[in-house]
Amino acid sequence: MSGDDVVSAIPGELISWSGWASGLNTDLERSARDLNQKLEELNFSHPDPGYLGQVPYLGNDVIRYAYRNDGTDTWVGRVGHAFMRIATRGQPHGVVAADYQDFLNGLVTTDQQDLAGLVGANPVTDAEARAAAAALAEQLKEAQDAGDLNQVQDLVRQLRDHQWDPNFTSTFFQSLGVPQTLAVLRTIAKDDGLLRIYDNALATATNSPDWDPAFNDQMWPQPGSGWQSTSPIEALILKYGVFSDDFLTRAGDSVLFGGRNAWTRAHDPTVDQLVLNALARSPSASLSFLLGHPVDPEIGQPSFGDRLVLLLHLLGQEFPGSPDVARAFGGLLSASGHSPMALTPFVGPSGTEPAIQALLHQLGAQPKGLIPDGARSGIADLISQHIELFVDAPLSKDGSATWQQSVFDLAEQDGNDQVLQDSIRKIEAAALSWSLTHMPSSENPTDNANERAWMEWDRRTGTLFALAGMPLSQVNYDRSKLESDRAFVIDQAIYLALAPGGAWTVPAEDAASWMVDSWMHNGNPLNSSDPGLANKAKDDQVFLNKLADMKAALAAGFLQAHPELVPPGVNRDDFLRRVASGEDTGNAVLSQFQKDLNGASLAFAEQYFFPNK
Amino acid sequence: MGIPYPDPIRFDHGKADAAVAAIKTVIAKLQSQKGDRWTRGQAMRVNWKGPYALHQFDPELTRMVSGANDLIGQLQSLVTTISSASARVIEDQAAHDRANQQWEEQNAPDPGVVPGL
């Protein structure tokens, strides 16, 4: 280390400065706020202007000064802690603990580069931003108190350049305080542009490392004796922005699980929708919220049931008359699937399973009538995001539907058992995508090492397509919809194969239709030793169509990915039909693939016809 | 023509006094803090060496002291403004009161013949 680079300090002196000066700043800030209050009272008493005009709010300058100092003082503390880390680096924990005071009060010498690596940000920039934020908050308070609406709007507009800055926004809103934050909100509520800036800024602030959670608590009174309802205007604070998980959870509990002595059933759909949408903009908050437990004001403790199930009951009467709330609830379910914690183990009512599976499991256990129709698209989206969780879905053991079968049913049929075609397509596309991307890497039939992987793929592919097709019924699903689904699935297969080889779209649709006609007139599609299964297969038109779609789509995807397997000069349409329907092509690789398609078909049939078809 | 100054001068002395007291509290804190910061900062600098101390802390310490001085100057000026206004109001109000009293004396109704005299 060269002489110019040598730096030294006694860590305790710098750390002690920081704590001491922080107290000075807080004390000065408090006095400055009191001064502003007194100056405001003097101004509002309207002294005769011949003697005294409006006095300036000099407390603002003092607050700015205190915040500016605080930034520097905090930074001095960081430098002190950096010196301390350098002093104790490499020392056993026991030694540091025993000689802590010696380390703290001893002179530490190091080099500037080492120190700078531990200290980080520029103190002046940070301090200036905080000072400016505190001053802006004070100006806003004064304008709000004076009823100067134009000035309030102008000042909020100044937040535009700072709305993504955690330091600025956290200082701004913590200086403003909850009552004034809501007062300003009421002033700007009708200006959507300003509202967007204001909400985004608060959202940024709530995610700041130095955000005080007491603000969240004060803004969203929790269920119990201190609870208060949220007005539609106040709920506009949630219209834009991605807030912290804690802020959102408290907002959700205050709005959706409010009540002083018991959960209230008096809900405002506008407010409910705003809070559900705000939660849905944060996937991590969505999942933890739904699986968590709100405080039950009747017992003053967290409830036994999780929020997912409780919400279905609490909002059950609201959903039919407020489809927007139902859709927002579906959006919340869908968002939870994107949580980074979705696949982490979670201990729930059904034991330990991935968190998102616990959610799906809970959903699948609910009576169909409890699920609002508006939420079904969200459930379909959730299933499609995590379709891999269903590949090993078991068969029913007692004739009743498994939770996996039930949750597909919830997604694909409405309360009147009418099929939701968009949901079906979403889920079938996900099943197809899983199947095409999980085909074993080698299709060589002479390679026995791949046999187990192919058999597993067969079973899983069949299971997924069966779950997707099960909720359909030939009673309420007509031929035109089946053919429309077919075109969609085949398109997806060609798109997902993402390989050269020409367009197989029309041939694949034709092949599927040909197979359905052939099976309906000439026999069953299964090479199964189970005669009951084979006979049922003949009878079920939806089954035949969906099975044909699966076989044609996978065959098209396979040939698209392996164009070398198509003999030159052969009629492509006819060749695809032969591969999909299991006719011999004289090619050993394709024979193996056809065996696998048949295996998938059997798994499809076993899942599909069980329990009630 | 009536009383010359029917309305008192609009000036809330209680609020003015409270504002002045609050200003003086802040001035006292700034005075105290700038001195304490300077003294303690200089002591800390005996052992704290290097670019952070020299190029960051020293200018900041100077700014803290000069910033406090600037604020104290502004606040004292405001004390003067409010106190002067208050004093002028008291003085003028007293003059108004005297003028009103004089007018009342001059314009008091003639008592006429007082019985018994």
For residue A505, the model assigns a pLDDT of 64
pTM, two decimals, is 0.75
Please check whether residue A274 is in contact with residue A251, taking contact to mean a CB–CB distance below 8 angstroms. no
Distance from CA of A158 to the nearest CA of B (A): 25
Contact A8 B49 (CB under 8 A): yes
Give the residue, A54 or A528, on which the prediction is more confident.
Answer: A54
Residue with structure tokens 């002083």?
Answer: A260
Q: What token pair was written down for A594?
A: 């056809």
Number of helices (H), then strands (E), in chain A: 28, 6
Using DSSP, state whether A25 is helix, strand or coil: helix
Q: Using CA atoms, how far apart are residues B20 and A8, in angstroms rounded to an integer?
A: 46
Residue with structure tokens 């206004």?
Answer: B85
Nearest alpha carbon to residue A124 among A182, A187, A73, A197: A73
**Above pLDDT 70, what percent of chain A?**
92
Looking at A45-122, list the stretches that DSSP marks H as alpha helix, in order from N- to C-terminal side. Answer: 59-88, 93-98, 100-105, 112-119
Nearest alpha carbon to residue A547 among A431, A411, A418, A376: A431
**Above pLDDT 90, what percent of chain A?**
55
For residue A1, the model assigns a pLDDT of 47
Give the residue, A613 or A257, on which the prediction is more confident.
Answer: A257
Q: Which residues pair with A8 in a beta bridge?
A: A109, B49
- Which of A165-174, A255-264, A400-409, A524-533 is predicted with the least confidence, judged by mean pLDDT? A524-533
Q: State whether the Cα torsion A151-A155-A158-A163 is positive or negative.
A: negative
For residue A360, the model assigns a pLDDT of 97
For residue A613, the model assigns a pLDDT of 47
Nearest C-alpha in A relative to B62 = A69
Number of neighbouring beta carbons within 10 Å of residue A269: 18
Contact B47 A72 (CB under 8 A): no
- B65 reaches A (C-beta below 8 A): no
Of A267-281, A566-580, B102-116, give the range with the top mean pLDDT: A267-281
Distance from CA of B100 to the nearest CA of A (A): 19
Give A296's DSSP letter. E
Q: Which amino acid is at A499?
A: A
Contact A31 B22 (CB under 8 A): yes
Angle between helices A505-522 and A541-561 (to 10 degrees): 140
Using DSSP, state whether A96 is helix, strand or coil: helix
Please check whether residue A271 is in contact with residue A230, taking contact to mean a CB–CB distance below 8 angstroms. yes
Q: Using CA atoms, how far apart are residues A266 and A318, in angstroms rounded to an integer?
A: 9
CA angle A595, A508, A384 (to 5 degrees): 80
Q: Using CA atoms, how far apart are residues A158 and A188, in angstroms rounded to an integer?
A: 13
Going by DSSP bridges, is the β-strand pair A6-9/A108-111 parallel, antiparallel, or unpaired?
A: antiparallel
pLDDT (average), residues A306-335:
94
For residue B22, the model assigns a pLDDT of 97
**Residue ranges for chain B with pLDDT beneath 70:** 111, 114-117
pLDDT band at A531 (very low <50, low <70, confident <90, very high): low
Give A342's DSSP letter. T
